[in-house]
Amino acid sequence: MPPVNPKPSCLQKIDEFVRTSKVAVFSKSFCPFCIRVKNLFRSINQEIATLELDELEDGAEIQDALFQKTALKTVPNIFINGVHIGGCDNVMEAHQTGRLQVLLSKSQEAPSPSGSAPQEPEVKYDYDLVVIGGGSGGLAASKEAALWGAKVAVCDFVVPTPIGTTWGLGGTCVNVGCIPKKLMHQAALLGQAINDAKKFGWDLPENVNFNWLTMVEAIQAHIGSLNWGYRVALREKKVTYLNAYAEFVDPHTLKTTDRRGKVNNITARYVLLATGGRPRYPDIPGAKEYGITSDDIFSLQHHPGKTLCVGASYIALECAGFLAGLGIDATVMVRSILLRGFDQQIAELIGGYMEKHGVQFKRGYVPTKIERIEEGSPGRLKVTSENGDGEILEEEYNTVLFAIGRDACTSTIGIENSGVLLNPKNGKVITDEKEQSNVPHIYAIGDILDGKLELTPVAIQAGKLLARRIFGNQTLLTDYANVPTTVFTPLEYGCVGLSEEDAIKKYGEADIEVYHSYITPLECTVPKRDDNAGYAKLICVKSLNEKVVGFHILAPNAGEITQGFAIGLKMGATKADFSNLIGIHPTVAEVFTTLSITKSSGADVFQKGC
């Protein structure tokens, strides 16, 4: 822990030294890392000011005060133009990426941004960049911009759900998305593992009980630590965190309102919109009064009981999957098809697997009314639904979870005062390939980007690269093609590239060759379950030397497998490249090195042995 009360005289000394030196290096004369840093600056002809702490009487106290100020315990500890850079590794990395040269090229008083964005007449703003939204994209962008010397503020505020759920810094992924979802997925997999364990010789009691609240509390405790970590990271990077709701007053001015209602106006040279999305509710009686969404389920303080998940995409299927895996009665209400936009052969395999593992499906129905028939936690609800033929279905559930899509958070941010154009169909921000809106100093990333994927790593990549382009003279754009993704249902479905339907649409059926196989993971053989429940396919284009344009796998740990193979698709791998690769035995992933049967041959692809 840093010292609680560093000597004021030491802090003053540090501030004075940093203020008066373009490059301020706190060093020790004998330290090899300090020598490396000094040599680096010498090699690029950059003058530096050095304070050798081992030669000063109060050197140890200054080092303690530096720790308090920068959270860095060791030397060298470097500042450029008053901005804390870090230690030896940070400087070396900054040199390699070109960031060091950009930081050095700026004047001490006004670190003004440069880059692809148009230059404006010199106007004083409170911040170089204000980011609206402290989620995956916003945090990545704000930290990166600060690294390049920009003065940054990030506004993050969570509007509570209709039943009052709220959460901390970090946005959807950390609080009500990927992280708690994956942890509940893991809890469900452990349930399966307990059953398998008995078959492998573990002597376990017949009934092993699951406690919902214990799981929720453990997951929420982990999330709490992540929220804290984000706050610390912002502080360390000198990003101002405003726990306040931001709205445009004019294109450069934002009104911020904190939870106590305190209003403030801040100005920004650049504004980044990273406000993400929130779950949509259907416009039917009782939806908001009695229904919940993914924003509530992960912190629900009571066992949900018999649950209806409305919707048939990522969120509905994943939630129903882990609920059933936890032994909870789960039903999915499907309006049309499963996993629109995904490979439909695999979507149906997922449906079949889920059904076999306890999830019920109501196909072709949409809910029309939710009524409470008994108070309580969870209480009892009556759900009325209807199919395309006008047939009515009434059923009781304890919990109804809507997962029917998400709305971009752009309707209550005073967008009309900014001049930024939205797609009227979905409220998403229209940008060019540089994530720049029609108002040149206003950018958007993440889930609110029109026509782009709603995934955490996509938002992070866009945020980082955008900050480097605006403040670091860099040019690299986010590549939105061939983004790998995984649906955790709980048998995982990983894919990258085109679905079979889209490949046929793009290249024509005659030019497509599909290599495929069913999979029975070795670990399923002893417990004698899920024979041939997994599936692998490579979609290749004949006229492009069998270039692989679609990679699909349904198997345990498909996310891990897909992440690795995705680089192959990004690099233009062909079927021959996959076949030339030697497999790792015995794994599921090795199937991709031995695929030899084409779909067009109609040959049997059920796995029978090793």
The catalytic site residues sit at: 585
Residue recorded with tokens 């709305």: 407
Which backbone phi and psi does 159 adopt, to 5 degrees?
-80, 125
141 vs 316, which CB is nearer to ligand NDP? 316
Alpha-carbon separation of residue 520 from 196, 199, 408 (angstroms): 15, 17, 40
Tell me the residue number closest to ligand NDP, measured at CB: 313
51 vs 320, which CB is nearer to ligand FAD? 320
Indicate the DSSP class of residue 184: H
Strands 292-293 and 399-402: parallel
* Residue 568 is a binding residue for ligand FAD (CB under 6 A): no
Side chain identity, residue 401:
L
In the complex, least distance from residue 95 CB atom to ligand FAD, rounded to whole angstroms:
30
Strands 253-258 and 263-273: antiparallel
Compose the 447-486 pattern: x for residues touching ligand FAD by CB under 6 A, - for all others: x------xxxx-x---------------------------
Which backbone phi and psi does 45 adopt, to 5 degrees?
55, 40
In the complex, least distance from residue 44 CB atom to ligand FAD, rounded to whole angstroms:
36
Across 530-568, b (16+ Cβ under 10 Å) vs e yields beebbbbbbbbbeeeebbbbbbbbbbbbbbebbeebbeb
- Considering only the stretches 174-182, 226-234, 302-310, 533-541, report the one whose residues sit in contact with ligand FAD under the rule CB under 6 A: 174-182
Compose the 272-291 pattern: x for residues touching ligand FAD by CB under 6 A, - for all others: --xxx---------------
Query: Could you say which residues in the range 291-330 bind ligand FAD, by CB under 6 A?
Result: 294, 315
In the complex, least distance from residue 488 CB atom to ligand NDP, rounded to whole angstroms:
6
The residues binding ligand NDP (CB under 6 A) are: 282, 310-316, 318, 335-337, 340, 366, 403-406, 453-455, 485-488
CA-based nearest residue to 349, from 498, 495, 553: 553
Compose the 8-37 pattern: x for residues touching ligand FAD by CB under 6 A, - for all others: ------------------------------
3-state secondary structure of 336: coil
List of long-range contacts for 594-602, beta carbons under 8 Å, 24+ apart: 595/515, 595/516, 595/517, 595/536, 595/537, 595/538, 596/515, 597/515, 597/516, 597/517, 598/513, 598/514, 598/515, 598/516, 599/513, 599/514, 599/515, 599/516, 599/537, 600/513, 600/514
Identify what 53 binds: ligand NDP, ligand FAD, none; CB under 5 to 8 Å per kind: none
53 vs 370, which CB is nearer to ligand NDP? 370
In the complex, least distance from residue 529 CB atom to ligand FAD, rounded to whole angstroms:
25
- Considering only the stretches 50-58, 136-144, 373-381, 602-610, report the one whose residues sit in contact with ligand FAD under the rule CB under 6 A: 136-144
406 vs 441, which CB is nearer to ligand NDP? 406
Alpha-carbon separation of residue 571 from 90, 410, 511, 567, 568 (angstroms): 30, 36, 21, 6, 5
* Residue 158 is a binding residue for ligand FAD (CB under 6 A): yes
- Considering only the stretches 44-52, 69-77, 156-164, 223-231, report the one whose residues sit in contact with ligand FAD under the rule CB under 6 A: 156-164
- Considering only the stretches 45-53, 58-66, 135-143, 219-227, report the one whose residues sit in contact with ligand FAD under the rule CB under 6 A: 135-143
Q: How far apart are CA 121 and CA 103, in angstroms?
A: 21
| Residue ranges that bind ligand FAD, judged by CB under 6 A | 132-138, 155-158, 171-173, 177-178, 181, 245-246, 274-276, 294, 315, 409, 413, 446-447, 454-457, 459
